[in-house]
Chains A and B, each alone.
Chain A
Amino acid sequence: MSLSQSRTAPVRRKVLAGGLALALAVSLAACGRSSDSSGNDNQGTSGGKTGELAAAPGFDPTTKTITLGVLTPTSTTAKLISDPLTAGNKAFYDQLNASGGIDGKYKVKLEVKDNKYGSGDNTATATAYGQMKDNVVAFQQVLGTDPVHSILSDLEDDNIIAAPATLDAEWYQEANLMPIMAPYQVEVANALWYYVNKMDGKGKKVCTLTSDDGYGNAGLNGVKFAAGKLNVDLTNTQKFKSALTGGSYDAQVQSLQQSNCDAVFLTSLPSDTLGIFNAAISKNFAPMWIGTSPTWINLLAAGDVGKYSAEHYVVAAEGPEWGDMSVAGMEKMLDAVKKYAPKTEPNFYFSFGYLQAMAMSQILAKAVKDGDLSRDGVMKAMNSIGKLTFDGAVADQKYGAPDDREPQRETTIFKVTPDTVKTNGGLTLYAKDAMNFTSDVAKQVPLTN
């Protein structure tokens, strides 16, 4: 090796090293961590200056925008539910923003991230949460019983509130959750009461078919509780694994058929409802299927399945029929659909999303009134709000901290009418007395899993 080379080699290596170190330093400095990025921000002023709200995570005072997070499945078949639900959230805020926003001054923006619910992977919610939490004031929607479970500790650590788009009774005990409407356990309790007393179900054989996860168990436990109180014996309880994760239900349907069930309480996702009904049709098994609200999707009103559903399926949900103008807020919601979500078909997931946004907006309005949109401020607003109103769609709800809040205890029973898919989504009131009724057993349902 020549003398010149033996001298340049080490120099070049030193230059390389120096460059590397510099690059590292620069890149680290670039991802700067600001002091209020961690979320324990106590900067919220309490209504001192008029109209001057301090900045908070998710709230930008310069653009006067409040950002809310949405953790919902956009990449699995469960988007059958999440797409209209999120559309309902969005339409409400579009309508609100058109008249100025919260308190007429603050516009609301939704940021949506995929939580892969329905694929079996429940880790995506916590990951997406971590990416979003510093940029949102609260979570407008977290869809899926298991996904909500997976972020409970995080919500607690960061003092953020989230509205679960799943109706499990135990949410009412959680300080960081903002659940609304009657939980599944109440839905099925009311439904069982209605079946026994109004659908000629006394003395008939009642069975259950529920998915083998948190959501399915909520429905199952509700039925068990109500059956105990109403002295109904559950003839056959079957569980199944969702077909989306490789499961099947042929054997379960056959077992129910062999038990000669007259009514089967169903807790499943809509894609599984379709498969289950197909299996039942091919086996000529026709009990009365009584489903919790998420068992339903418009597809169930089409084709052969539609004919079957019309005779053998009712849905236990809450609220009015789509298009029922006797409800005060229906006109406003239909107006929002027309202006901001014209492609939406009538669908109670949309109305649920709309109502959920309505509830959250009331809490935000209180936080704004109290002059504090920080995490503490929003939490205080939720705990002191006293009541949430829903424009007559469902009953007003006593609200506050877990000890001060009560879910609605009412249920509406819908029957399937394939001809009216375009006008009311295919769901019509089962009978005049089937709207927003409350039974005694539903009043006793405990707010636990």
Chain B
Amino acid sequence: MTTLATAPEGRVRLSSRSRARGLGTRASAQLRAFPSRWSRIGLVVLALVVVAAPFQLTDDWLQVLSVCGCFAIAAIGLNLLSGYTGQVSLGHAFFLAVGGYVAANIGDKAGLPFIVWILAAAAIGAAIGALIGPFALRLQGNYLAIVTIALLFLSEYLFNKWTNITGGGGNLSVNVPISIGPVDFADLGSVGFDSRWQGVFWLIWILVALAALLARNLVRSRAGRAMQAVRDRDLAAEVIGVSMFRYKLGAFAVSSAFAAVGGALYLGVIQRNISVSSISGIQGFVLSITFVAIIIAGGMGSVWGSIVGALIVQGLPQALATQPDLLPFVGDDKAITLTSFNNLLFGVLIVVFLLFEPQGIAALWRRLKARITAWPSRP
């Protein structure tokens, strides 16, 4: 029950329960990044999990989760582009590659510190993304998707050609510093870490948190509303003063920056190797599809959904690999190999989500939440 109690200043004060549910009657309450007490509690729990994980999990799990983290950052970027601004892109892998090569050249070749190369990755990613933006103005939906595919094949040629940047032979080893000031994440012996993967896990998930916060703030801002306007009715938006050009371009730039950061971390810190054929051409296409699958599964238009999506799409196959007994028919001598099973699962996942839950896990969660909070009445 909502009780209105007037405070001495004459402002309306809502009961704690209503505030906790996030059902404030003030617009500013809706706009807060973490509107309800529950979301704040959830945040604390998540932070604790991230801090505790390297002490509890083995290296292989940490590696998997770190990869999920990198993919989450890139997926958040794609979500901003596709989920919030409605621009289709099947060439997201290209920007990951860009980030990777920036890391290799600025972090490794030039040996500059972590902050420099990660910011450079974001900046260069954004710049290149802004170059692609104008295509989005000329082309709609399907055609835009096809042009982004062309980008992948073009990039394969370019990467093979520019051996100054990409090293010869289509393969480049990368060894970048990952220390912020005095803290070297690769070697946190002082906290009791004995493996590189533990520090890397923290670094990546701190960045995931930053990326999510940035995206969340962007979405809640005026720019975010403009992006959604472009998604829903771009011509009408133009008419009321929302510049299609600026926001489409901006969306590409921002999303590419995120992707470049994710790529710099994935290729430079985790893989420590950039192979041209893995991030462009056909495999680049597969990678780009993976990102789209992540935002579909997580929910287009939901930042934390991208994180969950990355954990599912990227993490589930690895998790299955560590539990061979769960699926007795999967194995090298059995009915279906693990790789084949993962590919099959991937395809089935996309189809099932699009058929039954096109708004992704975020929508599922919203429905679940609504059902719980409104119990016993059905929402």
Q: Chain A: residues with CB nearer than 8 A to chain B?
A: 1, 5-6, 9-10, 16-17, 20-21, 24, 28-29, 31-34, 37-40, 74-75, 112-114, 116, 119-124, 126-127, 130-134, 146, 149-154, 157, 212-214, 217, 245-246, 449
B67 touches A122 (CB 8 A): no
**Residues in chain A near residue B321, CB distance under 8 A:** 113, 131
Report how far A147 CA is from B345 CA in the complex, Å.
Answer: 25
**Residues in chain A near residue B171, CB distance under 8 A:** 122, 146, 149-150, 213-214
Report how far A134 CA is from B195 CA in the complex, Å.
Answer: 12
A123 touches B1 (CB 8 A): no
Interface pick from B143-151, B235-243, B277-285, B299-307: B277-285
Distance in angstroms from B269 CB to nearest chain A CB is: 11
Distance in angstroms from A13 CB to nearest chain B CB is: 8
Q: How many A-B residue pairs have CB under 8 A?
A: 132
**Residues in chain B near residue A131, CB distance under 8 A:** 60, 63, 318, 321-322
- Tell me if B210 counts as interface (CB < 8 A to partner A): no
Residue of B56, B169, B195 touching A29 (CB-CB under 8 A): B56
Q: Chain B: residues with CB nearer than 8 A to chain A?
A: 1, 17, 41, 45, 49, 52-53, 55-61, 63-64, 67, 160, 168-171, 173, 175, 194-197, 270-273, 275, 277-278, 281-283, 286, 318, 321-322, 332, 337-340, 372, 376
B52 touches A28 (CB 8 A): yes
Report how far A395 CA is from B265 CA in the complex, Å.
Answer: 45
**Residues in chain A near residue B275, CB distance under 8 A:** 122-123, 146, 149-150
Distance in angstroms from A20 CB to nearest chain B CB is: 8
**Residues in chain B near residue A132, CB distance under 8 A:** 60
A112 touches B332 (CB 8 A): yes
**Residues in chain A near residue B58, CB distance under 8 A:** 31, 33-34, 37, 134
Assess A127 versus B67: contact at CB under 8 Å? Given A33-B57, A149-B173: yes
B63 touches A127 (CB 8 A): yes
Report how far A38 CA is from B57 CA in the complex, Å.
Answer: 10
Report how far A246 CA is from B152 CA in the complex, Å.
Answer: 13
**Residues in chain B near residue A123, CB distance under 8 A:** 271, 275, 278
Residue of A116, A157, A214 touching B170 (CB-CB under 8 A): A214
10 extra interface residue pairs, beta carbon distance < 8 Å, beyond A21-B45, A150-B273 = A10-B17, A28-B57, A33-B57, A75-B337, A120-B282, A124-B339, A126-B273, A149-B173, A153-B175, A214-B170
**Residues in chain B near residue A146, CB distance under 8 A:** 170-171, 275, 277
Distance in angstroms from B93 CB to nearest chain A CB is: 11
**Residues in chain A near residue B61, CB distance under 8 A:** 31
Distance in angstroms from B159 CB to nearest chain A CB is: 12
**Residues in chain A near residue B278, CB distance under 8 A:** 120-123
- Offer 26 A-B interface pairs, CB within 8 angstroms, sorted by A: A10-B17, A24-B49, A28-B49, A28-B57, A33-B58, A39-B195, A75-B337, A114-B339, A120-B281, A120-B283, A122-B277, A123-B271, A123-B278, A126-B271, A126-B272, A127-B318, A131-B63, A146-B171, A146-B275, A146-B277, A150-B272, A150-B273, A150-B275, A151-B273, A157-B196, A213-B170
A38 touches B194 (CB 8 A): yes
Report how far A146 CA is from B196 CA in the complex, Å.
Answer: 23
**Residues in chain B near residue A122, CB distance under 8 A:** 171, 273, 275, 277-278
Residue of A17, A39, A40 touching B41 (CB-CB under 8 A): A17
**Residues in chain A near residue B281, CB distance under 8 A:** 120, 245-246
Report how far A97 CA is from B41 CA in the complex, Å.
Answer: 56
Closest partner residue, chain B, to A1 (CB atom): B1
A154 touches B195 (CB 8 A): no
Report how far A40 CA is from B196 CA in the complex, Å.
Answer: 11
**Residues in chain A near residue B53, CB distance under 8 A:** 28
**Residues in chain A near residue B283, CB distance under 8 A:** 119-121, 245
Distance in angstroms from B333 CB to nearest chain A CB is: 10
Report how far A8 CA is from B56 CA in the complex, Å.
Answer: 36
Assess A116 versus B339: contact at CB under 8 Å? Given A74-B332, A153-B175: yes
Report how far A308 CA is from B175 CA in the complex, Å.
Answer: 47
Distance in angstroms from A224 CB to nearest chain B CB is: 14
Distance in angstroms from A240 CB to nearest chain B CB is: 13
Closest partner residue, chain A, to B280 (CB atom): A120
Assess A114 versus B338: contact at CB under 8 Å? Given A120-B282, A122-B278, A246-B281: yes
Report how far A446 CA is from B128 CA in the complex, Å.
Answer: 41
Closest partner residue, chain A, to B277 (CB atom): A120
Report how far A113 CA is from B67 CA in the complex, Å.
Answer: 19
Report how far A212 CA is from B161 CA in the complex, Å.
Answer: 11
Report how far A70 CA is from B271 CA in the complex, Å.
Answer: 19
A212 touches B160 (CB 8 A): yes
Distance in angstroms from A175 CB to nearest chain B CB is: 15
A134 touches B59 (CB 8 A): yes
**Residues in chain B near residue A16, CB distance under 8 A:** 372
Distance in angstroms from B9 CB to nearest chain A CB is: 28
B59 touches A37 (CB 8 A): yes
B271 touches A75 (CB 8 A): no
Assess A130 versus B196: contact at CB under 8 Å? Given A123-B275, A146-B171, A245-B282: no
Report how far A28 CA is from B48 CA in the complex, Å.
Answer: 11
**Residues in chain A near residue B196, CB distance under 8 A:** 157
Report how far A130 CA is from B175 CA in the complex, Å.
Answer: 17
B337 touches A74 (CB 8 A): yes
**Residues in chain B near residue A9, CB distance under 8 A:** 17
**Residues in chain A near residue B1, CB distance under 8 A:** 1, 6
Report how far A275 CA is from B171 CA in the complex, Å.
Answer: 25
Distance in angstroms from A251 CB to nearest chain B CB is: 15
Distance in angstroms from A286 CB to nearest chain B CB is: 31
10 closest cross-chain pairs (CB), A and B: A75-B339, A122-B275, A38-B195, A120-B277, A130-B63, A150-B273, A120-B283, A153-B272, A131-B60, A122-B278
Closest partner residue, chain A, to B61 (CB atom): A31
**Residues in chain A near residue B169, CB distance under 8 A:** 213-214, 217, 449
Closest partner residue, chain B, to A152 (CB atom): B173
Closest partner residue, chain B, to A73 (CB atom): B339
Report how far A1 CA is from B59 CA in the complex, Å.
Answer: 51
Distance in angstroms from B251 CB to nearest chain A CB is: 28
Report how far A127 CA is from B68 CA in the complex, Å.
Answer: 12
Assess A126 versus B270: contact at CB under 8 Å? Given A75-B340, A214-B169, A245-B282: yes
**Residues in chain B near residue A24, CB distance under 8 A:** 45, 49
**Residues in chain A near residue B41, CB distance under 8 A:** 17
Report how far A213 CA is from B156 CA in the complex, Å.
Answer: 12
Closest partner residue, chain B, to A6 (CB atom): B1
**Residues in chain B near residue A34, CB distance under 8 A:** 58
A246 touches B57 (CB 8 A): no
